[in-house]
Every structure is written in structure tokens, then in C-alpha cells.
Chain A
Amino acid sequence: MERVEFINDQDVVIHEDGTRTETMMLNMGPQHPATHGVLRIVLHLDGEMVVKAVPHIGYLHRGIEKLCEHITYQQCLPYTDRMDYLASICNNIGYILTVEKLLGIQDEIPERAKVTEVILFELGRIESHLVGIGTNALDLGAMSAFLYCFTEREKIYEILETVCGARLTTSYPRVGGLPLDLPDDFEEVVGNFLKTFPKTLKEVDSLLTRNKIWIERTKGVAVISAEDAIDLGLTGPAVRGSGVPYDVRKATPYLGYENYDFEVPVTNEGDAYSRYLCRMEEMNQSLKIIQQALDNLPDGPYIADLPDIVLPEKELTYTKMESLIRHFVIVYEGFKPPAGEVQHAVENPKGELSYYLISDGSGKPYRMRVRGPSFVNMQALSKMVEGSLVADVIAAIGSLDIVLGEIDR
């Protein structure tokens, strides 16, 4: 067996017969098409084998946690879009749920808002998984699967556009419910998507699942055992691909997920292929959840009746003095949650996203902490690629499905 020692600032590989070779240091990134953003990995190579991989992050750091200490709770919402920008609606909903928990108004949220949020959350999951699978395949040379995925993702963007007017940076729900009632054709457009999407999913499945090249490039690559996955704190498909059935939607249900009939797909091999299968099945389950939610979308109010927290209707703001004052106070000072602290976790497409909010009784958060799944999952990369080939690093990054906006915040 060859071993690696650190001599004179250099990794030296000592081979079986006693010969010594030096490792080569290779910078992958920060500008690299397969790192999905500005990620730099310093690879120490012995020939084509990776001896050590050290990720360097922070190139996209904007200080979101600090910024949020200086603005009101509503103003924090657009910042949450810019973390996991592939599923911004999920970040938004997670944040809103945390603030609602901090205010203690979860029971006041109307059913129509909750069901809509479930639909949008699952659409966000499909959207993110499509990018995850599509780019993973693209990095490994399968161009066509990527195009199918992105065509379908475009349709989700169109749905989001009809609902909230924005495509990528949604900033959609509000504390208390939805800012506007759903458009009349909402059920129709989501219904159409539910009809056409399974066909594309099947096409992607037939392009990849039994594709010999795809299997060779992903099976047995970037393996992580269940024990290591838990120890490293992996969540989402990264941990479920290793056989741990942890899903926040089942573990600590929010938005009434306990009332939906769905399964948590688990695959056991812990390699890149296993995570891919897990994502594919998750999209099927998401479709099931959306269908159930759409069938039971209730009529009625879309935002809670909480004058201290929710802005008055625009019409009233323009015509009634009291509403104008209310509007002014909420916008200018913000609503004031009682002093205290809460943590709330949601199952983002990439894993557990949790917000930890501390209120000191003023209109601005005293501290907002975001635990992003990509940040924690990224730690597993070194463990996954050490001892494998350089080309497998690309497969590993793709299969972890990281997004740098959330790692660096």
C-alpha cells in the first residue's frame, strides 16, 4: 500500500517499493463551469488520484445575516431569495414560517395560504431537482437530459410568474399568508403542468437511469456511508441516498404535511447514482403532493386578519386615514415580535434549511442565523473524493447538488 506523508510543506507519496513521488497541487475554480458557482477546490494529486481535496468557500459572501440585523422582518424576505436561488420560493416560505412561529400566529394562518404554500414549495423542489440532475448530467457529458430538464423548469417559472410576478427571486408569501389572492387560472396552469411533467420525467429517466455511460460515471462514485453521512450532518437527498430516511416534512411536519399522502424515497448505496435515483423519485412524490393539494385547495381568506402584522388592503390605504396610519407604522417600524428565540426547519430540496431568529422585542431581528443545507453538505466533498479520480470530483460536486449562494450567504 502506498501512503502519503507531509514532508517539507509538501505531500509526499511513498510507494510500496520505497520510491517517493511528490503530489501536484491543482486549483479547481474559482471560475470553473462544473463548480456551479464560484467555488475553489485545491486538489492534491498523485497522478490522476486525488490525495487531498480542500474546498475554499466565501467568494460569494454578502453578509446576509449581518444585513438582516439592520432591517425589519419583512425587509429580510428578499435576501432569503438570494441564498438558494434555484429554489427561492422554498427559502421564502421557510423564513415566513419562522417569523410566524416567533410571533406565535401559526394557528391564525388561513388554510388557503397554507395549501398554496405547499404547492409552491413542491414546485420549488421539482425546479431545484431538475437543475441538480440536469447539470450533473451535463457535467458528465449528457447534454440532452439537461435540455429536457430546463424546458420543464421554464414551465415552473411561468407558474411562479403568474402567481407572484417574479421568476427567479420570488419574495412571495407574506407573514400571515399571501399578499394577493391567487390568479383565476392558477389551478389550470398547475393542472397542465401536472399533466405534462410526468412525460418529461419519463424521458429524463429513459435518457439516464439505464444509460451505460451515466451508470459507469456515477455508480460507486463519491460514496458516503450512512454513519459518515449522519456524522457529517448531511441532509436531503445526500443523506437519504445513504439509506437514512430523515425528512423534515415527516419528522417535524409544517404547513400540514402530515395530512398528505406521500413517501420519503430512500436509496441505500450512498453513491452519486443512488442520490440521483432518490431525486428522481422525490419529484414523483412532489407531483403526488401537488395533486392532493390542488384537489383540496379551499376558498376563503388568503391572509390572516391580524391588523398589527398584516398590511391593510391597498384600496383602504388610499381611502381611509386609519388604514394609511396602520400601513405607515407597519412599514416604517415593522411589527414587533415578543422577545424570544425560535428555530424552524423546513425540508428544502437540498436538505434541512433552518432559520434561528432572536427577537429583542423591536421591529428588527436581533440575530438571524441561516443553516443552509449546502454549507453543511459541502463538507462531505473531501471525504467523498479522496482516493478517487479527478474526473469523479465533478460527479461528486454535481451529485451533492450544492448552490454557492447558500454556502456563502
Chain B
Amino acid sequence: MSFDVEQAVNLLKNEFPQDIINIKEYRNETTILVGKDKIREICSYLKYTLEFTFLADLTAVDYLEVKSPRYEVVYHVHRFGPECEENVRIRLKAELTDGDPLINSVVSVWSTADWLEREVYDMFGIKFNGHPDLRRILMPEDYGPHPLKKDFDVRNREASKESFEKALDDGAE
């Protein structure tokens, strides 16, 4: 019997009944919203028990003034299956509140996450608890703001919301 997304979702639901918040399906892709506190346990379970050995991507999204909590960390995990013939991919999401966003690192689960988490930190300022070497990766070391935040001021290159609003006001005059 081949393994499919539905099976993975059911197994996850049985294992972590409290932490699976929402399951969505859109354009044949399954998105699972999970609680951020258990993210490392869920990822370990996915990798070691369900054999999702490949972390395809790890990124974040800033939903400033669109929804609350503000940030989402997004994981794409992939299961090859025997002879790379199954190829099941699911998307995990964990929500983080504004302020001092912090989530457990998954570097101990997949080494791939090392640079990917560094990039998320660099671009969004989200900190990863337990990351071995969390420093900026693309931007200069002494650079202050985190550019992919929605309140990053593209014109003044200052990520304060005040200067964003000021720039908008200046534009209106």
C-alpha cells in the first residue's frame, strides 16, 4: 500500500491531537497549521517515523495588518519513499506573534535548515531557539533592519513603521 498525504495527516493527528490546529487543501497541496511550541517534536516525528527525510524549503511570511499573529514560518517537507517513487509533500506552518518572535530550530532534525533559518532570521528577524550559528547570511553583519518585513521602508531603508507612515504622508502632500 502506498503512502499518501491523507495517511500522513491522519498519523500526525493521532500523534499530536492538541497541536494540529488547522488543515487546508488548495490546488492539491496540503497545508497543516501546527502549534509553534511542538514544532521540533512534530518535525522529528515526520522525519524519523514517517520518513519525511527531505526538507524542501523553510521560509517565513509577514502578515502585518492582514492577520494576527503576525508571522508564519513555513516548512515544506518531502518524503521520497522507496526508490524515490512516492514523493509526498506537505506544508507545515507555525504562527508567531509580533514582538520578539521565537521558534525552536529544526537544524537538529534536518541540517538543511541551517542556512534556511539563518536566511529567515536575516530577512524577518525571527529567532530560532537552538540554532548553532544564528547570524545574518545575505545582508551585511552590521545591517540593522530586516528587509522582508512588510514595514521595511524601501525608500528610506529603515524598517520602522513610523518612517513608513511618514513617507506615506510626505507622498500625500
Question: Who on chain A is nearest to B93 by CB?
Answer: A341
A354 to B75 alpha-carbon distance, docked (Å): 13
A366 to B127 alpha-carbon distance, docked (Å): 23
Answer whether residue A245 sits at the interface, using C-beta atoms and an 8 A cutoff. Answer: yes
Whether B138 pairs with A408 at a CB distance below 8 angstroms is yes
How many residues on the B side are at the interface (Cβ–Cβ under 8 A)? 38
Contact with A along B28-45 (1 / 0, CB 8 A): 010100000000000000
| Contact among A63, A245, A367, A375 with B84 in the assembled complex (CB-CB below 8 Å) | A245
Residues from chain B with a CB closer than 8 A to the CB of A367 are 61-62
Contact with A along B8-42 (1 / 0, CB 8 A): 00000000000000000011010100000000000
Answer whether residue B50 sits at the interface, using C-beta atoms and an 8 A cutoff. Answer: no
Residues from chain A with a CB closer than 8 A to the CB of B31 are 341
A82 to B110 alpha-carbon distance, docked (Å): 29
Residues from chain A with a CB closer than 8 A to the CB of B80 are 230, 244, 246, 251
Given contacts A57-B137, A70-B154, A245-B84, contact A231 B115 (CB under 8 A): no
Q: Report, as a range, how many residues of chain A touch the other chain.
A: 35 or more
B58–chain A nearest beta-carbon distance, Å: 9
Given contacts A246-B80, A379-B115, contact A354 B56 (CB under 8 A): yes
Whether B111 pairs with A342 at a CB distance below 8 angstroms is no
Given contacts A343-B91, A352-B56, A367-B61, contact A233 B110 (CB under 8 A): yes
Contact with A along B136-172 (1 / 0, CB 8 A): 1111100000011000101000000000000000000
Answer whether residue A256 sits at the interface, using C-beta atoms and an 8 A cutoff. Answer: no
Answer whether residue A167 sits at the interface, using C-beta atoms and an 8 A cutoff. Answer: no
A376 to B66 alpha-carbon distance, docked (Å): 31
Whether A61 pairs with B139 at a CB distance below 8 angstroms is yes
A409–chain B nearest beta-carbon distance, Å: 8
B67–chain A nearest beta-carbon distance, Å: 11
Whether A66 pairs with B154 at a CB distance below 8 angstroms is yes
Whether B27 pairs with A104 at a CB distance below 8 angstroms is yes
Residues from chain A with a CB closer than 8 A to the CB of B116 are 376
Residues from chain A with a CB closer than 8 A to the CB of B61 are 358, 366-367
Given contacts A63-B147, A244-B84, contact A232 B76 (CB under 8 A): no
Residues from chain A with a CB closer than 8 A to the CB of B111 are 228, 231-233, 379
Given contacts A63-B147, A354-B57, contact A58 B29 (CB under 8 A): no
Residues from chain B with a CB closer than 8 A to the CB of A70 are 154
Q: Classify the secondary structure of B's interface with A.
A: mixed
Whether A231 pairs with B112 at a CB distance below 8 angstroms is yes
Given contacts A101-B27, A343-B57, A358-B61, contact A233 B138 (CB under 8 A): no
Contact with A along B103-137 (1 / 0, CB 8 A): 00000001110111001000100000000000011
Question: Who on chain B is nearest to A352 by CB?
Answer: B56
Answer whether residue B7 sits at the interface, using C-beta atoms and an 8 A cutoff. Answer: no
Which residues from 49 to 100 on chain B have a C-beta closer than 8 Å to any C-beta of chain A? 53-57, 59, 61-62, 66, 74, 76, 80, 83-84, 87, 89, 91
Question: Who on chain A is nearest to B57 by CB?
Answer: A371
Residues from chain A with a CB closer than 8 A to the CB of B138 are 57-58, 61, 408-409
A119 to B90 alpha-carbon distance, docked (Å): 30
A270–chain B nearest beta-carbon distance, Å: 16
Contact with B along A221-261 (1 / 0, CB 8 A): 00000001011110000000000111100111000000000
Whether B54 pairs with A230 at a CB distance below 8 angstroms is yes
Residues from chain A with a CB closer than 8 A to the CB of B154 are 66, 70
B2–chain A nearest beta-carbon distance, Å: 14
A190–chain B nearest beta-carbon distance, Å: 30
Answer whether residue A402 sits at the interface, using C-beta atoms and an 8 A cutoff. Answer: no
A104 to B80 alpha-carbon distance, docked (Å): 26
A105–chain B nearest beta-carbon distance, Å: 11
Given contacts A70-B154, A379-B114, contact A345 B56 (CB under 8 A): yes
Whether A356 pairs with B57 at a CB distance below 8 angstroms is yes
Answer whether residue A48 sits at the interface, using C-beta atoms and an 8 A cutoff. Answer: no
Residues from chain A with a CB closer than 8 A to the CB of B54 are 230, 233, 246
Question: Who on chain A is nearest to B113 by CB?
Answer: A233
Answer whether residue A198 sits at the interface, using C-beta atoms and an 8 A cutoff. Answer: no
Whether A66 pairs with B147 at a CB distance below 8 angstroms is yes
Other than A342-B27, A356-B76, A360-B66, give 8 A-B pairs with Cβ distance below 8 A.
A58-B136, A61-B139, A66-B148, A70-B154, A250-B84, A341-B29, A343-B29, A369-B74
In the A-B complex, the 8 residue pairs with the closest CB atoms: A233-B112, A58-B138, A251-B87, A371-B57, A61-B138, A369-B59, A246-B84, A231-B111
Give 8 CB contacts A-B under 8 Å.
A230-B53, A230-B80, A231-B112, A251-B84, A371-B56, A371-B76, A376-B112, A409-B138
By a beta-carbon cutoff of 8 Å, the part of chain B in contact with chain A is: 26-27, 29, 31, 53-57, 59, 61-62, 66, 74, 76, 80, 83-84, 87, 89, 91, 110-112, 114-116, 119, 123, 136-140, 147-148, 152, 154
